[in-house]
Amino acid sequence: MQLCVNSPLGYYARQIFGELIGSWIVHELEMTSWQGRWQLVELGPGSGELIIDVLTVLGSVEVYLVESSERLMERQTQILNSRFGGDLVRIRWYDSLDDVPQGFSVFVANEFLDALPLHLFVRDEANPKKWCEQYVTLDRTDEQRLCFMLSAGENIHTKAWIPQRIREDESRTKWEFCPQAHYIVRQMVERQTLLRNKFPIDITADVDFGELSMALRDECLVFGPVEQREFLGSIGLHHRLNYLLNKSKTKEERVGLLEACRMLIADDQMGSRFKALGLFPNALADFLQARGGAPDGFARSGGNCENVSDGPTER
């Protein structure tokens, strides 16, 4: 959503996006027939604006924000305090997912995994069967500048992280791997496995969804990735837009909402560039099968990596 935040239309686009995510969470929880307490966990809440729009729909719920930056935590506190009038009792901050209390949870991560450091590998042109790792280092001719360099052949990272399918695909000359993204996603999967919880997880990030999906296909139900326009359209974008248009009081507000909608779903904007990936616990397999085999927003994508791309996607 960085594109939205920096745009003059950011307010309208963020509002529509956040409220749709909130509505999707409510719907998926209702479909599980869960009646007990639950908690919302957002990874990397950034400015805190997305969680405000989500909470506009959800109402009263325990919220845990995972944020390691004290500066961002202060900013989030300010914006949440201004929105909720100082009532932040239900919102707590943690600097690690490890510290978040166990419980029936819904995870949201938007523009989070893409901020994690990654490793870049390059196929050796002289010996295509070998791979090198690309580093950032000081320029030997000017120590005030940074430059790229390649490892002298294979190293421990190339041998440990590059899968055989990538090595055998000679069309792949570069490959990225983010170990922290894999670790964090596995943390979420392990939390649901340990508790045998039945809760939905939505993860969207500028990472290689195909690689994450293949790594998790035996541990949870995987849906997507699907294009953002398909996901938002399937979960009620146009209904929400019409509702907001009817509530708008000026022509400028209506024009802003329409342009924001276009930004979210148009091919030349965010519609096809941005993707959504859904991970659900295996315990929900029967529920999803009774609904046609997939959660809302992912009906055409199949489950457990049936239609997973190997390439990186945004969000």
| pLDDT at res. 88 | 56
Is residue 95 domain-shared with residue 193, that is, in the same domain?
yes
Q: Which of 175, 200, 218 is the C-terminal boundary of a domain?
A: 175
Is residue 189 domain-shared with residue 170, that is, in the same domain?
no
| pLDDT at res. 206 | 45
Report the pLDDT averaged over residues 274-293: 83
Quick check: is 219 in a domain? yes
| pLDDT at res. 286 | 84
- 214, pLDDT greater than 80: no
**pLDDT tens-place string over residues 21-59:** 999 999 888 887 777 888 999 999 988 888 989 998 887
Q: Provide, rounded to the nearest whole percent, the portion of the chain with pLDDT above 70.
A: 83
Is residue 201 domain-shared with residue 233, that is, in the same domain?
yes
Indicate if the alpha-carbon torsion angle 297, 301, 302, 307 is positive or negative.
negative
Quick check: is 56 in a domain? yes
- Local confidence band at 209 (pLDDT 50, 70, 90 cut-offs): low
- Local confidence band at 208 (pLDDT 50, 70, 90 cut-offs): low
Quick check: is 24 in a domain? yes
Does the pTM of the predicted model rise above 0.75?
no
Total domains in the chain come to 2
CATH number for the domain spanning 195: value is 3.40.50.12710
Length of the chain: 315
Burial (0-12, 13-18, 19+ Cβ within 10 Å), 36: exposed
Is residue 188 domain-shared with residue 273, that is, in the same domain?
yes
Measured between alpha carbons, how far is residue 164 from residues 48, 129, 134, 159 in Å? 40, 11, 19, 10
**pLDDT tens-place string over residues 108-165:** 988 787 778 889 999 999 999 999 999 988 888 887 889 999 999 999 999 999 999 9
| pLDDT at res. 270 | 82
Q: Which residues pair with 276 in a beta bridge?
A: 226
Distance CA 278, CA 294 (A): 10
Is residue 197 domain-shared with residue 217, that is, in the same domain?
yes
Quick check: is 171 in a domain? yes
Distance CA 17, CA 274 (A): 13
Is residue 228 domain-shared with residue 265, that is, in the same domain?
yes
Quick check: is 295 in a domain? no
Is residue 52 domain-shared with residue 133, that is, in the same domain?
no
Q: Domain span at residue 89?
A: 2-116+179-290
Quick check: is 315 in a domain? no
Is residue 194 domain-shared with residue 226, that is, in the same domain?
yes
| pLDDT at res. 192 | 63
Burial (0-12, 13-18, 19+ Cβ within 10 Å), 187: middle
Is residue 148 domain-shared with residue 284, that is, in the same domain?
no
Determine which helix (DSSP H) or strand (DSSP E) holds 167, and give its type and residue range.
helix 164-168
Averaged confidence pLDDT in the chain: 80
- Local confidence band at 61 (pLDDT 50, 70, 90 cut-offs): confident
> Residue 120 gets which letter from DSSP?
E
Report the pLDDT averaged over residues 75-85: 83
Quick check: is 298 in a domain? no
Is residue 11 domain-shared with residue 96, that is, in the same domain?
yes
Report the pLDDT averaged over residues 217-229: 83
Measured between alpha carbons, how far is residue 12 from residues 22, 58, 254, 256, 284 in Å? 15, 19, 10, 7, 34
- For the ranges 12-16, 132-136, 255-259, the maximum mean pLDDT occurs at 132-136
Q: Provide, rounded to the nearest whole percent, the portion of the chain with pLDDT above 90.
A: 23
Report how far apart the first and last C-alpha atoms of the chain are (Å, whole number): 8
Is residue 202 domain-shared with residue 158, that is, in the same domain?
no
Quick check: is 300 in a domain? no
Q: Which of 175, 196, 216 is the C-terminal boundary of a domain?
A: 175
CB contact set of 254 (below 8 Å; sequence gap of 6+): 245, 248
Q: Indicate left, alpha or beta for 304 from its phi (over 0: left) and psi (-120 to 50: alpha).
A: left
Burial 142-166 (b: 16+ CB within 10 A, else e): eeeeeeeeebeebeeebeebbeeeb
Is residue 87 domain-shared with residue 199, that is, in the same domain?
yes
Going by their DSSP bridges, the two strands 119-123 and 131-139 should be labelled as: antiparallel
Q: Which of 152, 175, 198 is the C-terminal boundary of a domain?
A: 175
